Amino acid sequence: MLKTRIIPTLLMKGMGLVKGTGFDSWRRVGAALQSIRVYNMREVDELVLVDIAATRGNAKPNFREIDELADNCFMPMTVGGGVRSVQDIRDLLAVGADKVVINSAAIETPELIRDGAAEFGAQCIVVSIDVRRQADGICEVFTECGSKPTGHDPVEWAKTVAMLGAGEILLTSIERDGTMTGYDVDLVRNVAAAVDVPVIASGGCGTYSHMADVLGTTRASAVAAAAMFHFTEQTPREAKSFLAERGFPVRK
Amino acid sequence: MAAGLTAVVDYGLCNLDSMARALEECGAATVEKTRDPRIVSRADRVVLPGVGTFGAAMRNLRDWHLLDAICEASANNVPFLGACLGMQLMATIGTEGGARTQGLGLVEGEVVRLVAQSTEERVPHIGWNEVHPKSGSALFADGDETGDFYFVHSFHIRLVDPSAEAARTPYCGGFTSTIEIPGRPIFGTQFHPEKSQKNGFRLLKRFLAV
């Protein structure tokens, strides 16, 4: 049986890792290499690593830094931030990324999804969808690290990117991000029901029960968490025991 | 320590570093990432890693003259391991992208898309799933019945002769997740051993010991 993945998300800025709240108020949370070594030892299912400096500064991904991190990473690693061309995807795969995350460029140049999938296969093209739920409850997709509204509805946008060739969707709630108050379960449910590709729920996880809530009531294939692993004593391994006791398939 | 040269074939699309690093960690003495067919020809082991599409990979293997070097090495029973797309390329025919593309032809079979059998199953197949080896397989220890390995793919090989199947994985109706050509040191894994932590490293060590 395919196991539900528990995925720590690492946000890289320069040489260090950061974590914010609502895609803002960044705090330093340690060194990337050290975190990767710890997660290696703990045999986590997969890591997501996003270079947010590249996203914001309109720069290329930091290939040299990612290369060094990947050389120390014997677990699947999904890498994003600043991916704007087929060559960027090629270079990230070459330095050791298993999958590549596209966010802002997916909106600006949707053909990048199609061209990337045609060259490298849909399985390594992850489209990240960052969603802000407005006061009236309506959801909208944002890019540029949560700063730019796009006018896209997340469900419709998810269907579009899957049709273009995205093999996976990393779905993040912007206002839940870093709050540790739980995933936006309705958002995850609606998006995961609308597409046939795997969906990773992200944004808001603060406890193991938040993971159980979203996995129990939506068709998400994986859960991502950052603040919970950075700022609390909770670990991916304990998350698995918690989920296994409640009948979710996890890797032992 | 596994002596000799292990060539990791670079066809311009794949995650060479992960595979090369994993082989070194597993005790391969000399690992060379290469696009040079002469190095493939004198290697003691050939590893074909994989990310990419079937057509793009075969185009590069042919254009860079790597195809003949790989086929010749395996004909001479130089141990060979194809991983993920590398295993799919071992087939006679690929169908990714709608076109029928000739593969390496190391094993008779066709590469076809996974088809979800229920709403629970999603394609691509991404994540950790079970691998059930058949008894007597060289890549799995006896008694090593089942373990989770990391998969990330949308296609699989449908073998003509099931005797080359060394393991199966229960997803999308079940598919061949490991190939061993009977009596020959030619192997393929649909999963990524280099990313499968303990289970994957155990398998790579067995391959290096062949």
Mean pLDDT of each 10-residue bin along chain A, 252 residues long: 97 88 89 92 94 80 90 91 94 91 95 95 96 93 93 98 98 96 98 98 98 98 96 96 98 90
What ranges do the domains of chain B cover?
Answer: 2-209
Which pLDDT value is given to residue B18? 85
How far is A66 from A96, CA to CA, in rounded Å? 8
- In terms of DSSP H, where are the helices of B44-151? 54-63, 66-75, 85-88
A 10 A CB-CB count for B12 gives: 18
- Superfamily for B2-209? Class I glutamine amidotransferase (GATase) domain (3.40.50.880)
Which pLDDT value is given to residue B2? 84
The candidate with the shortest Cα–Cα distance to B46, out of B85, B12, B7, B4, is B7
Which pLDDT value is given to residue A72? 85
| pLDDT tens track for A88-110 | 999 998 888 999 999 999 999 99
Which pLDDT value is given to residue B51? 82
Residues in contact with A135: Cβ distance below 8 Å, sequence separation at least 6, in sequence order: none
Which pLDDT value is given to residue B145? 61
Distances (CA, A) of B11 to A61, A98, A119, A215: 22, 16, 12, 39
Instruction: Decide: A191 and A155 in contact? Cβ < 8 Å.
Output: yes
Provide the residue-wise pLDDT of chain B in tens; the chain has 210 residues: 788 999 999 988 776 888 999 999 999 999 999 999 999 999 999 999 988 889 989 999 999 999 999 999 999 999 999 999 999 999 999 998 778 999 999 999 999 999 999 988 999 999 999 999 998 889 997 656 678 999 999 999 999 999 999 999 999 999 999 999 999 999 999 999 999 999 999 999 999 999
Find the chain B residues whose C-beta atoms sit closer than 8 A to any C-beta of A: 12-18, 21-22, 25, 51-53, 56, 85, 96-97, 116, 119-130, 148, 150, 152-154, 170-171, 192, 194-195, 197-198, 201
Give B208: exposed, middle or buried? Use CB within 10 Å, 0-12, 13-18, 19+.
Answer: buried
Which pLDDT value is given to residue B1? 73
Collect all residues of chain A within an 8 Å Cβ-Cβ radius of residue B124: 121-123, 167-168, 197-198
Strands A125-133 and A99-102: parallel
How far is B5 from A226, CA to CA, in rounded Å? 41
CA distance A168 to chain B (A): 8
**Residue A217 φ then ψ, to 5°:** -120, 5
The candidate with the shortest Cα–Cα distance to B49, out of B79, B92, B12, is B12
